[in-house]
Amino acid sequence: MTQAQQQVMKIKVEYYGILREVCGCHAEEVAFDDRGEATVAQVLAQLVARHPGLSQHRRYIACARDAELCADDSVLHDGATLALLPPVSGG
Amino acid sequence: MRLVTAEISVDRALRAAADPRAGAVVMFSGIVRNHNEGRLVQSITYTAYAPLAEKVLADIEQEVYAKFDVIKCIIVHRVGQLEIGDSSVLIVVSSVHRPEAFVGGRYAIEEVKHRVPVWKLEEYTDGTHSYVKGCSLNERHHIEAGDIA
């Protein structure tokens, strides 16, 4: 496969609450070379590698896409936006 | 719009809950207080994942209608930087008799606190700030002190 043919899939990640402090931004991109899809768990694994501080929050983080919560095994495609939601404290 | 940035209007919510059949109206207002866990609070900044927050607030209203014999249920949550004494959340429930309005309102606020993707950043008088520990949407339990360093 030539470089021009190689697929790079990008997922936009949005952080909320304390995760904005942990990761130092409100949003960023995650890229996967040469594949058309990735699970939520795979995206989270890449983010934990990038931001080691995320690891202690990992089990408490819920993920959402298009205003719906989604499970770790949900499949994401190129251009998807994934919201990372830490424990909520409204009211 | 159940998620608002401007000051919550009690009058508007009471008007929305009014009904000729209603003999009772119960209102709950969550207020920013000047202290929490021994620290002096200057203000609280609320942020939300708005698309899901709107949906969950609407879901909770519908659950109140389904579970309790109420006439109207209005829930409004504010986001942005709030000062001491500001209302962050307002719930108004009307019913024919008072028990249903009380129990419906209590259900609504407990569900709001556990399920709506909103976060509190407490800003203290000493210039520091901290996110309030909350309830995981994954496991639906409170994070205990010490779980996260």
Domain containing A23 — which CATH number?
Answer: 3.10.20.30
CB A38 within 8 A of CB A32: yes
> What ipTM was reported for this prediction?
0.91
Any CB–CB contact under 8 A between A85 and chain B?
yes
Model pLDDT for residues A30-53, shown as the tens digit of each residue: 999 878 899 999 999 999 999 999
- pLDDT per residue as tens, chain B (149 positions): 899 999 999 999 999 999 999 999 999 999 999 999 999 999 999 999 999 999 999 999 999 999 999 999 999 999 999 999 999 999 999 999 999 999 999 999 999 999 999 999 999 999 999 999 999 998 644 454 455 55
Question: Taking a C-beta distance cutoff of 8 angstroms, is the pair B22, B97 a contact?
Answer: no
| Residues of the domain holding B75 | 3-29+50-117
Nearest CA in chain B to A18: B131
Identity of the residue in B54, B77, B134 whose CB atom sits nearest the CB atom of A87:
B134
In a domain, B59, yes or no: yes
Number of domains chain A is built from: 1
pTM, 2 dp: 0.92
Predicted pLDDT of residue B17: 97
Domain assignment of residue B133, yes or no: no
A65/B contact by beta carbon, under 8 A: no
Q: Does B80 touch chain A (CB under 8 A)?
A: no
Confirm or reject contact between B31 and chain A (CB < 8 A). Answer: no
Is residue B96 a part of any domain in this protein? Answer: yes
Q: Measured between CB atoms, does A48 come within 8 Å of chain B?
A: no
The minimum CA-CA distance between A41 and chain B, rounded to whole Å, is 14
Distance in Å, alpha carbon of B147 to nearest chain A alpha carbon: 8
The mean pLDDT value for A50-71 works out to 96
pLDDT of residue A36: 85
Contact residues on chain B for A19, CB-CB shorter than 8 A: none
The residue range of the domain holding A53 is: 8-85
Is A91 domain-assigned?
no
Which chain A residues contact residue B143 at CB under 8 A?
Answer: 60, 87
Cα gap A85→A62, rounded to integer Å: 5
Show Cβ contacts of residue A23 under 8 Å, excluding neighbours closer than 6 positions. Answer: A15, A47, A51, A53, A54
Is residue B125 one of the residues assigned to a domain?
Answer: no
Beta strands in B19-131 (DSSP E): 24-31, 35-36, 39-48, 70-78, 80-83, 87-95, 118-124, 129-131
Cβ pair A85, A15 in contact under 8 A? no
Look at chain B and report how many structural domains it folds into. Answer: 1
Q: Do A17 and B131 touch (CB under 8 A)?
A: yes
CB within 8 Å: A18 and B119: yes
